[in-house]
Structure 1
Amino acid sequence: MSSKIEGTRATFEDIASFDGKRTPLGTDKDDLEEVLNYRTALLAGKDEMEKLPLTLNVIRTIHSVLMNGVRGQHSDRGNFRRIQNWIGPPGSTLETASHVPPSPPAMLEALYEWEKYLHAEGEDVMIQLAIMHAQFEVIHPFLDGNGRLGRILIPLFLYHKEVIHQPFFYMSDYLEANRSEYYHRLQAISTSEDWNGWITFFLNGVVEQAQKTIGQAKSTLDLYEEMKSVIAKATNSVHAGSTQDFIFSNPIFSNTTFYQLPGVGKRTLIRILKELEQNRIVEISRPGTTRVPTLYEFRPLLKIVNR
């Protein structure tokens, strides 16, 4: 969803079925790689924060990963910009731009103040989160990738403040659904200093997204409990538990990946997969050939993920 805001088109199914070689029909490989980089960059940020707090150096590392091998990679990835940039429709100039970020010297000063604010104590953390994200977008410190990186910083900041135990809280679904207001509220900060409008918009999104995420988590847990007896009955196998864990971890998978389930013989796995298919627990989404493995979907979980 974060990449979709920038115009990238790739579904969850596209990403889950992409093996690095075969691009799903109707999908741009560059789009897929941008989304995969987003995930890699988020996890790289988490790993960096095991050693260091959330700092400007960590953010530069995240940016380098985010832009590696994709569109914009030659825009001085991993480094704060040294030239003036601006935001506006194609063909706009510095004079006609909708937003002109600070010049490089002023940008560096703003970044140092922004970093101090990240570590300020005694603030309301959720308001601090809203201000942190907006200020990053206003400063626009990189030549490319600022939007995606600013959205990566939302879960990383909450993780940094120990509000969440893993950096897996995503605002992008809400921001994509309200894209016009998202940009309008950010713009209003610069044009009329409307911080209250931005903070209200952002915090409403936090509530809405949190409620949706909690609902998805509960539905997933309910489905997991329900499928215990279904899969055990269908497979009649001591490996029903590990089979269930596999399809919940991999709601889209190939037969070759399934056959690598540890501790189970391939002949047994072939039989189990056949039983799952016959009982319509999983369904074929792409038939295999001699060179391409068969792709399966666990659709009940995909419905929860995509709703």
Structure 2
Amino acid sequence: MIDAAPNPRLGRYIETPVAGETVRAFVPPPLPPDPPIDVLGLIDRLSLAERALGRLDGITMLLPRQELFLYMYVRKEAVLSSQIEGTQSTLSDLLRFETEAQDGEPIDDIREVSNYVDAMMHGLERLDTLPLSLRLIREMHGRLLQSGRGETKAPGEFRRTQNWIGGSRPGTALFVPPPVSELETCLDALERFFHDETSRLPALIRAGLIHVQFETLHPFLDGNGRIGRLLVTLYLCVHGVLRSPLLYLSLYLKTHRAEYYRLLQDVREKGDWEAWLDFFLTGVTETANQAFDAATRIVDLFKEDRERITSDSARAGSALRVHDWFEQAPFLTSGQLVERTGLTAPTVNAALADLERLGIIEEFTGRKRGRVFRYHRYLEILNEGTDPVGTS
């Protein structure tokens, strides 16, 4: 009897000493997978995902303030991606922190989310002058961990020690990434795949492959999940699948995290890339459709509220100017509005009273001084799905 040939999709294990124990560290084969991905079996999922992305791209081109939607959506992704890693901050926490309207929140959690926004925007801006590369990934990582709990975890540097995933010690780990001796070779191969055109795989398929490979290499001491999720959107922007960076999978992965982790492990242990890609493309479709729906409802909300102000406010001109700023920042104080609108304090306060009467904004601190107003219906749309892990 002839033994079946080994599956070239499977990696190899290297026995590695870690913290007084010997563990089996996994080294994946380079991308693309061999045998090749069965794209034909994924064609229906791929078509739905591409159609959903095209629809999202179309609506964002029609948004009156595309940069505002991007501003909020990037922050929502930052919150969700950080929640997967264990932070408890909400989108409202972050927005209030950014407008200096909040005291007493868990500052480390909010700082981590704020750092993620900074890392994401840095990566998107650098794509104008720098290709998607290991250098860019290190730059983003440096910003991600620049302050807070991650600043002792070698920000901007690939790891020089062995890490592991799950388990209280290396010997009980669920997964052990490649040893340091293999990491540079694996990362070089991944960077080459960023720019590979020989496989002729659709960009969405390649983005799904890149995400898993990065998570498997786990090249940093901390922040691998957040950078790995961000890579998907960066890659799709580089290859023209998205004109605006509005696809973020963290809500889908947060909702289905048990299946997500299982499928990552099935790629490593069984070479089952197709099951992962089916899941990934479904996530792209659902996420793009959710973003399309949110964008549509936000546009409708702004239009409806501005029409109500025009028809029902006794001071429509100033109320519209104040509303304009609430579209940009859902939490504001009267002092901030005086500074930003150029209106006098009595005029701003009268406009705020009018917007409260119309039910468009609400004051929620109950304080006499330093009152904070919020655009609550706008926040409800933005906050969907952003309860911390374990509370929803």
TM-score scaled to structure 1, two decimals? Answer: 0.92
Deviations 1:73-108 (A, max 9, x none): 11111011111111112x221x32111111123111
Structure 1 position 64, deviation (Å): 0.3
Structure 1 position 288, deviation (Å): 3.4
Could you tell me whether the CA contact under 8 Å between 1:235 and 1:276 is conserved in 2?
Answer: no
Bigger mean CA deviation after superposition, 155-164 or 229-238: 229-238
Q: Give the aligned partner of residue 13 of structure 1.
A: 92
Percent identity reads: 34
Give distance in 2, aligned partners of 1:167 and 1:70. Answer: 26
Change (3 A) 1:281 1:169: same
Give distance in 1, aligned partners of 2:130 and 2:348. Answer: 43
Deviations 1:165-222 (A, max 9, x none): 2223210000000111111111111111111111111111111111111000111111
Bigger mean CA deviation after superposition, 158-167 or 188-197: 158-167
Give distance in 2, aligned partners of 1:142 and 1:289. Answer: 48
Q: Does 1:269 align with 2:345?
A: no
Could you tell me whether the CA contact under 8 Å between 2:362 and 2:376 is conserved in 1?
Answer: yes
Matches within 5 A, 1:59-78: 59-78=137-156
Query: The residue matched to 2:364 in structure 1 has which SS?
Result: strand
Could you tell me whether the CA contact under 8 Å between 2:101 and 2:332 is conserved in 1?
Answer: no
Structure 1 position 5, deviation (Å): 0.8
Q: Give the aligned partner of residue 129 of structure 2.
A: 51
Could you tell me whether the CA contact under 8 Å between 1:30 and 1:70 is conserved in 2?
Answer: yes
| Structure 2: unaligned runs, 5 residues or longer | 1-79, 385-392
Q: Give the aligned partner of residue 300 of structure 1.
A: 377
Aligned residues: 302
Structure 1 position 19, deviation (Å): 4.9
Q: Give the aligned partner of residue 92 of structure 1.
A: 169
Matches within 5 A, 1:242-261: 242-261=321-340
Q: Give the aligned partner of residue 40 of structure 1.
A: 118
Specify the structure having the higher radius of gyration (Cα).
2
Matches within 5 A, 1:67-146: 67-89=145-167, 91-93=168-170, 95-121=171-197, 122-146=200-224
**Equivalent position to 2:260, from 158, 182, 198:** 182
Whichever residue aligns with residue 100 of structure 1, its letter is V
Could you tell me whether the CA contact under 8 Å between 2:334 and 2:345 is conserved in 1?
Answer: no
TM-score scaled to structure 2, two decimals? Answer: 0.73
User: Whose RCO is larger (CA < 8 A, sep 6+)?
Assistant: 2
Query: The residue matched to 1:296 in structure 2 has which SS?
Result: strand
Query: The residue matched to 1:80 in structure 2 has which SS?
Result: coil
Q: Give the aligned partner of residue 28 of structure 2.
A: none
Q: Give the aligned partner of residue 168 of structure 1.
A: 246
| Structure 1: unaligned runs, 5 residues or longer | none
Query: The residue matched to 1:99 in structure 2 has which SS?
Result: coil
